Amino acid sequence: MLLIIGVTALIIWRFGNATPSSPLSPSPPPYGKFPKPNDPFQFLPCTSETLPPALEDPNPEKTWAAKFDPDPGHWSWGNATTNSASEHDEYQGRGIYLCGYLDVPLDYTNASDGRIVRLAVNKFQVSGLAKVNEDGGGRGRKSERTIVLNPGGPGGSGTSYLWRGAEGVTERFSGGVFDVLGWDPRGVNASLPSMACFPADADRDRYSLLSNQAHDESTSPLAQLRVADAINNATFAACKEIHGDLPRFLGTAFVARDLEQIRIALGEPELTGYLVSYGTGIGQTYANMFPNSVGRIILDGTEYVRDHRLLGGFGWTALDNGTDAWHDGFLSECIAAGPEHCALAKPLNPSSKNVTLEDLQNRIFTLLDSLIANPLPAYTTHSGPSLITYSTLVSALYGAMYSALTWPSLALALSEFEKQNTTLMARMLDRAEWEYDPTLPCPATRRKPHTDELTALVICADSHDAPLPPFTPKDAQTDPDGLRWWTSLWKNMTAQSWIAGDSRFYNVFPCRHYTSTFGAAVGAYRGDLNHTLAHPVLLVAETYDPATPLRNGRRLLAEMGENARLVVHHGYGHSSRDTSACTERILREFVLEGVVPEGRETECWADGKPYRYGEGEGEVVLGESGGGLDPSAEALRVWREEMAELRGVQPGLFR
Ligand SMILES: *[C@@H]1O[C@H](CO)[C@@H](O)[C@H](O)[C@H]1NC(C)=O
Ligand SMILES: *[C@@H]1O[C@H](CO)[C@@H](O)[C@H](O)[C@H]1NC(C)=O
Ligand SMILES: *[C@@H]1O[C@H](CO)[C@@H](O)[C@H](O)[C@H]1NC(C)=O
Ligand SMILES: *[C@@H]1O[C@H](CO)[C@@H](O)[C@H](O)[C@H]1NC(C)=O
Ligand SMILES: *[C@@H]1O[C@H](CO)[C@@H](O)[C@H](O)[C@H]1NC(C)=O
Ligand SMILES: *[C@@H]1O[C@H](CO)[C@@H](O)[C@H](O)[C@H]1NC(C)=O
Ligand SMILES: *[C@@H]1O[C@H](CO)[C@@H](O)[C@H](O)[C@H]1NC(C)=O
Ligand SMILES: *[C@@H]1O[C@H](CO)[C@@H](O)[C@H](O)[C@H]1NC(C)=O
Ligand SMILES: CC(=O)N[C@H]1CO[C@H](CO)[C@@H](O)[C@@H]1O
């Protein structure tokens, strides 16, 4: 009913039938009209309609302004902060989510190429909005600094990251004082053009069993690579068909230039940022291209972006600590936590002695090995018949190393799996492996597809000038198309890390088709990383990080010298998600006050232990039937939550 009245009022207002004095005319918008004049982002309060206008739109600003919805009840407000709410103003003391966009050149190096990229930009403004004709008392203003976010990938959505985390981020780094901004990098998600090369997610899914097979599962690695290679070839060819030469303009240096445009549009003399994972690669590149614009930038889960200039470098540079996280973390911490917290720590039968680390590792390896010969059938109510293979399970295990919060769920699923009950595992793999979500109603298949192809396109653009095999005339005789070399790389990577090697290999394998399909990437940064910066950056690297090993943070620190400090964060998972009060204090002093730690390296330890986070705070223990909660439903809930979050960070990983 309310909706119908609203629509009627809007139509009358739009068609000009109502004069300001008419009783039917809406009262003037209490917070004034949006976008505000001279706002480079043209921010509107976010509603479900505020996605950037199409590139083909001849009058995008007009289309955009028409999306302004004057009803504050439809806007996305932040949560009320302590005792700020007021009886007569339910929005007082609440931050506001603002949606806008920024047009930037597609090709920064060619002024005669008029094509643009339209970046989706969202901001959480902590001070909320000021009403017109009222002294806002500081409301509705941008903060002195804005914390700019990037979640990584390549391909992670900064707008999604903002929606998930902005209120936590401003609290975490600035005590709620600074605004937070997230943008979808060129090609990603809501930015235009968006770099998907399949019409729907389900179309992509149907190839992923073929194109992501694990090395150890393959009876003929060379034959398997020929299949995967043909799919990669077809995928890049489709990208070219749909997007022409756009993939040449997606490299990290152009993303860094976009970031500089965002800083300029914010009107801030220096950039404040929290850049994570691959985002640290953007940050290193940015800092050295725009050294005078560097403010308080945290690079968390640190890469060494130089590695990405080399063929396959994005893959092999990540392999150090994935199996350490598995062995010292997932398994050892399980045993240390005991059967009360970890289902795998339960002896197989009550009379047997306590589980040892060696036993447990052997048990799981036996299970994995058996899957190589015999993939297991399964059934789930949502997707019907299902299959658990070595490849899909190993890929999910690697994903789980990104967040120790997934471990109790995974341990429960493995322990049921060991007893031949495949239900929970199949449901968890559904969520880790596929883009198409069978639990959603059918129109989901017609949704805009995820921009997953972007991941390989960025990785390949960054290494576009690395020579491809065969490297010598002699090689050319034995390996004319170079595929034997790739087979050797694959084998080496999985030998170094059975858990990470396959995922990482398939990240880089498409690159053999990049230049032959699109031509050379434009604008890559090939300079040093030791420029003198206006302000040192703060690196955070984790001892058990399965994607960005500490070694890379140290190599970057060595090159950056006095222009960086490093926090060595002892903990599990990717980036500093294994919370440490010590790390938190350093990060906040850095962002809020610009305080740089004295020592080149500072060591911090995580506060809690996996399987026992929040111990003593009434947490629910998975695998126990206490608390009235179904343990497997709870395991699935946590797993899904974490996987949804991790997909944002590393969209190309779980396939
Ligand atoms: C620059 O852009 C123009 C117009 O699209 C194009 O004709 C020209 O080839 C481009 N130059 C380079 C070096 O790519
Ligand atoms: C905001 O409030 C909702 C509902 O009370 C709560 O679920 C959510 O966690 C809060 N978000 C933040 C960032 O505090
Ligand atoms: C990709 O496939 C097309 C069509 O089969 C073929 O012409 C082309 O040579 C392939 N490219 C490479 C690099 O293998
Ligand atoms: C990470 O890997 C490096 C290289 O293999 C190794 O020296 C280091 O001890 C590992 N870290 C942990 C915490 O296991
Ligand atoms: C076996 O595990 C139980 C429960 O974790 C523990 O209380 C007991 O001390 C352990 N026994 C041995 C011999 O380690
Ligand atoms: C794989 O490792 C072997 C042995 O170290 C080495 O000879 C070979 O060149 C490596 N292959 C690649 C592609 O790096
Ligand atoms: C950066 O490193 C390069 C190569 O190691 C060196 O030649 C150059 O002098 C360094 N620049 C600065 C500013 O330290
Ligand atoms: C198998 O596991 C599922 C999910 O954990 C559970 O609901 C079901 O009862 C189990 N089946 C048997 C036969 O134990
Ligand atoms: C336009 C678009 O694709 N938006 C998506 C951005 O990412 C979020 C989170 O994955 C999706 O919910 C949006 O649909």
Q: Which ligand is nearest to the CA of 544?
A: 4
Which atom of ligand 3 approaches the CA of 481 most closely?
14
Which atom of ligand 5 approaches the CA of 340 most closely?
5
- Of 179, 160, 154, 185, nearest to 258 by C-alpha is 185
Residue 165 CB less than 6 A away from ligand 2 = no
- Of 364, 604, 380, nearest to 498 by C-alpha is 364
Q: Residue 478, CB half-sphere, CA atoms under 13 Å: how many?
A: 6
Phi-psi region of 301 (alpha: psi -120 to 50; beta: other; left: phi over 0): left
Q: CA-CA distance, 361 to 280, in Å (whole number)?
A: 34
Q: 53 CA distance to ligand 1 centroid (A)?
A: 26
Quick: pLDDT tens for 444-466. Answer: 556 789 999 999 999 999 999 99
Range of weakest confidence among 159-173, 430-444, 458-472, 475-489: 430-444
Quick: pLDDT tens for 9-27. Answer: 333 333 333 344 445 556 7
Which atom of ligand 5 approaches the CA of 339 most closely?
5
How confident is the model at residue 306, as a pLDDT? 98
The pLDDT-based confidence of 82 (bands split at 50, 70, 90) is low
Residue 420 CB less than 6 A away from ligand 2 = no
- Cβ < 6 A, ligand 7 pocket: 528, 530, 532
Q: Taking the CB of residue 210, how many other CB atoms lie within 10 A of it? A: 12
Q: 79 CA distance to ligand 2 centroid (A)?
A: 6
Residue 485 CB less than 6 A away from ligand 6 = yes
Which H or E run includes 376?
Answer: strand 376-380
Q: 189 CA distance to ligand 9 centroid (A)?
A: 6
How confident is the model at residue 85, as a pLDDT? 57
How confident is the model at residue 644, as a pLDDT? 86
Instruction: Indicate whether 594 pLDDT > 60.
Output: yes
| Probe target for ligand 5 pocket from 341, 354, 612, 624, with the most ligand atoms within 8 Å of CB | 354
Q: CA-CA distance, 191 to 182, in Å (whole number)?
A: 12
How confident is the model at residue 619, as a pLDDT? 52
Range of weakest confidence among 106-115, 131-140, 472-481, 576-585: 131-140
How confident is the model at residue 617, as a pLDDT? 60
Quick: pLDDT tens for 188-225. Answer: 999 999 999 999 888 888 888 888 899 999 999 999 99
Q: CA-CA distance, 508 to 519, in Å (whole number)?
A: 17
How confident is the model at residue 442, as a pLDDT? 67
Of 137 and 412, more confident: 412
Of 529 and 440, more confident: 529
Q: Which ligand is nearest to the CA of 513?
A: 3
How confident is the model at residue 528, as a pLDDT? 98
How confident is the model at residue 557, as a pLDDT? 98
Quick: pLDDT tens for 377-397. Answer: 999 888 889 999 999 999 999
Report whether 631 contacts 412 (CB < 8 A). Answer: yes
Range 293-316 average pLDDT: 98
How confident is the model at residue 621, as a pLDDT? 52
Q: CA-CA distance, 58 to 314, in Å (whole number)?
A: 39
Instruction: Indicate whether 432 pLDDT > 90.
Output: no
Backbone angles phi, psi at 96, to 5 degrees: -135, 140
- Cβ < 6 A, ligand 4 pocket: 320-321, 324, 543-544, 549, 551
Q: Which ligand is nearest to the CA of 469?
A: 6
- Of 67, 336, 366, 64, nearest to 192 by C-alpha is 64
Residues in Cβ contact with 183 at an 8 Å cutoff, skipping those fewer than 6 apart: 102, 119, 120, 121, 122, 148, 150, 158, 159, 191, 258, 262
Domain coordinates of the chain in residue numbers? Answer: 196-266+305-435+446-529+634-654
Range 85-92 average pLDDT: 76
Q: CA-CA distance, 606 to 439, in Å (whole number)?
A: 36
Q: Which ligand is nearest to the CA of 334?
A: 5
Range 232-260 average pLDDT: 98
Q: Long-range contacts for 591-599 (Cβ within 8 Å, ≥24 apart)?
A: 591/145, 591/147, 591/173, 591/174, 591/178, 591/272, 591/274, 591/296, 591/298, 592/173, 592/174, 592/175, 592/177, 592/178, 594/296, 594/535, 596/535, 596/536, 596/538, 596/565, 597/538, 597/565, 597/567, 599/565
